Amino acid sequence: MRRPEDVIWLFRQLEMEEGEPRLPYLMRTPTLPSAYVLFRTLHYIEHDRALLVRMAHFLMKRGDGPSFNLASLMKVYYGLDELKGTFSLRLEPFQLARIDNSYDAFCEIMRR
């Protein structure tokens, strides 16, 4: 899967159009397209703060750079102050708005 559209296509084939049912699959797939779809899918559960924190902890334990950057992004984007760790990724408010609508902007941040 080289693009987020490919990941979304696969979910459509599996009849998982939107939301929370996608999360277990996306959490186990450490690719940038999957990470972007995961980030976009988190909007469906943003009301469940405890779940967001658990997911961020899972990503941090994975230990690779992109997963840790995604956890850092989640911390800033969702205001997860209870998420402890040393995050090197620094984000400005204007960057948060850009990543919502642009896979390229998301990749730029994730590759830092």
Domain coordinates in residue numbering, the chain: 4-110
pLDDT tens for each residue of 37-76? 999 999 999 999 999 999 999 999 987 888 888 999 999 8
Torsion, Cα 108 68 55 96, to 10 degrees, reads -30
pLDDT of residue 68: 87
pLDDT of residue 111: 85
Tell me the CA distances in angstroms from 4 to 33, 79, 92, 110, one per residue in order: 5, 25, 24, 14
pLDDT tens for each residue of 91-101? 887 788 888 88
Ramachandran sector of residue 63 (left: φ over 0; alpha: ψ -120 to 50; beta: rest): left
pLDDT tens for each residue of 15-32? 987 888 999 999 988 899
